[in-house]
Structure 1
């Protein structure tokens, strides 16, 4: 795609690449004026999205999610723990978001990515506050045994909208999760049943089961720039136009949370409302993608 030069002709592809590197904001503004983006998307359209369940055979639940080039691998491992005295009938969930150097040129070996702990906290806050998982479902024996759920999400390609892709991968992994069968061993401890101890005592839970997921959260990140709203930004767009808004809605369209680092939300009231409307459309798309992925696993 060429850009018009001062004489009315078209710049060569080489000139366009140089112009994009030297004057990235002007390059984008030339597209925004036509209500489009360099990758050909309309401003309000998210990138192609896919979800594949069961990506990690050794995990109790896993998923591989792609939004454009942004790629996340989520894996869940379950361990038996002793519940706290404050919550004797509840299990726990621990979430970690990892950004290895392979995911982006800006992540250096030996140095933790600055975005990783921020995304980890956002994920934990969102999943726990949404009510998607009833922690009582993770209880095994009141006051004695419950499930500790470890969810690790690895960013394999960081090309923008990291939280959106990470959250979708987490939801997909929980949709795929099968809670293992456990039994009481001779020492009176609850242990995960395996081929070695199948001949032991009666199982505490009779068979593998899935979690009941309610109020499933989905999100959409948008860029606010002048009078424009760009849905599902790439890493390049995020680096050039820095005002981001991430709206999280549950599967029924109720607002779960809204993230806007810095600035005044009041200054963008109408834009925030538009972002919420775009997120409602996106929720329907993501729910369909998740349903199709789940149905595919059931057929297999």
Structure 2
């Protein structure tokens, strides 16, 4: 009796899988009508999220962010250079069609949030300042790429330690190596010990898919591919609206949908802030 039952279950699973591939939208809508998604999440719930700091030993700050299967690795390298308008450089390593769009989103978000106090990057007024190069690698792309990229960047800046530098005899800034870190220095350091940036108004984001009367938080790649209206809300840690992105799709007919997305983002910001705080606390204990 057990074998026929097992074969029947297998046959049923194959039929469901075939239906999902042939009629993906109908497959998802059957789940949505019961206020659940194929991965068993409620519509407004984001996927499990984890952070790991110090993932790249050669970087001055780094973090690995994982939202569901979507995985981003962010690494920051600091260089001393003559001050100019841009204080960060961004290099994104993932599919070419996504990189320019998300790079601009990240640039706008980090700048408009006011997370980084530019005065903290100054070494010698008008002569030398820190340049932060932010590299983000997409290790797994399964939806909500911007959310994971922003989280990895924020965590990397939270982990960042600015190196010790000094002025040489020619008045130029020199980076002090790890070997010289504890040694007696012949020249006075510009900053005497490694230091962290003071971050404020930290931005977090949540991408939502809008489909008919449904709102799906933190969509997977499959959900994004079959439901065309997506919005990304960015709030800072004080729930201030930093930005609102809607890359395409139909015009939003009801402001209530936007308000609902903002409300979901507000809840998500609290979750992400707690995850970041707990991860940083764990690093301090270690």
Q: TM bucket by the smaller chain?
A: over 0.9
**1:250 has 2:236 as partner:** yes
How has the CA–CA distance of structure 1 residues 263 and 241 changed in structure 2, closer, same or farther, with 3 Å as cutoff? closer
CA distance in 1, matches of 2:17, 2:52: 35
Question: Within 5 A, what are the aligned runs for 1:161-172?
Answer: 161-172=144-155
Secondary structure of the 1:204 match is strand
Q: 2:262 aligns with which of 273, 276, 286?
A: 276
Aligned-pair CA distance for 1:201: 1.1
Bigger Cα displacement from structure 2, 182-191 vs 147-156: 182-191
| Partner of residue 192, structure 2 | 206
C-alpha distance in structure 1 between counterparts of 2:40 and 2:97, whole Å? 30
**What is the alpha-carbon distance in structure 1 between the residues aligned to residue 246 and residue 254 of structure 2?**
11
2:129 alignment counterpart: 146
Cα offset, 1:264, TM superposition: 5.9
Gaps of 5+ in 2: 1-8
- Residue 189 of structure 2: SS of its match in structure 1? coil
Note the C-alpha offset of 1:10.
11
- Greater shift, 196-205 or 183-192, is seen at 196-205
**RMSD (Å), alpha carbons:** 1.7
Match for 2:141 among 158, 162, 172? Answer: 158
Contact 2:74 2:136 (8 Å CA) reproduced: yes
What is the CA deviation profile of residues 153-174 of structure 1, one whole-angstrom value per residue up to 9, with x for unaligned ones? 1000000000000000000000
The TM-score with structure 1 as length reference comes to 0.88
Residue 147 of structure 1 deviates from its aligned partner by: 0.2
Query: Can you list the C-alpha shifts for 1:13-57, whole angstroms capped at 9, x where unaligned?
Result: 001111111110010011001000000000000000000111111
| C-alpha separation in 2, matches of 1:82 and 1:71 | 34
The separation in 1 between residues aligned to 2:148 and 2:11, in whole angstroms, is 36
**8 Å contact kept, 1:140–1:204:** yes
DSSP-derived class of the 2:120 partner: helix
Q: TM-score, length-normalised on structure 2?
A: 0.93
Q: What is the alpha-carbon distance in structure 2 between the residues aligned to residue 76 and residue 272 of structure 1?
A: 34
1:241 paired with 2:227, answer yes
The change in CA–CA distance for 1:13 and 1:75 in structure 2 (over 3 A counts) is same
Counting only pairs closer than 5 Å after superposition, residues 1-300 of structure 1 correspond to structure 2 as 12-84=12-84, 92-99=87-94, 107=95, 113-194=96-177, 195=179, 199-263=185-249, 266-300=252-286
User: Following the alignment from structure 1 to structure 2, what is the Cα–Cα distance between the partners of residues 274 and 211?
Assistant: 34
Are the counterparts in 2 of residues 161 and 221 from structure 1 also a CA contact under 8 Å? yes
Post-superposition shift, 1:235? 0.3
Which consecutive residues of structure 1, in runs of 5 or more, have no partner in the other structure?
Answer: 1-8, 100-106, 108-112
Please state whether the residue corresponding to 2:253 is helix, strand or coil: helix
Q: Which whole-Å deviations, capped at 9, do the CAs of 1:84-105 have from their partners, x for residues lacking one?
A: 3xx6xxx711122211xxxxxx
Alignment check: 8 A CA contact 1:185 1:200 kept:
no
CA distance in 2 between counterparts of 1:264 and 1:22 reads 24
Aligned residues: 275
Residue 265 of structure 1, CA deviation:
5.1
**Partners of 1:75 and 1:173 within 8 A in 2:** yes
Asked whether the equivalents of residues 92 and 136 of structure 2 are also in contact (C-alpha less than 8 Å), the reply is yes
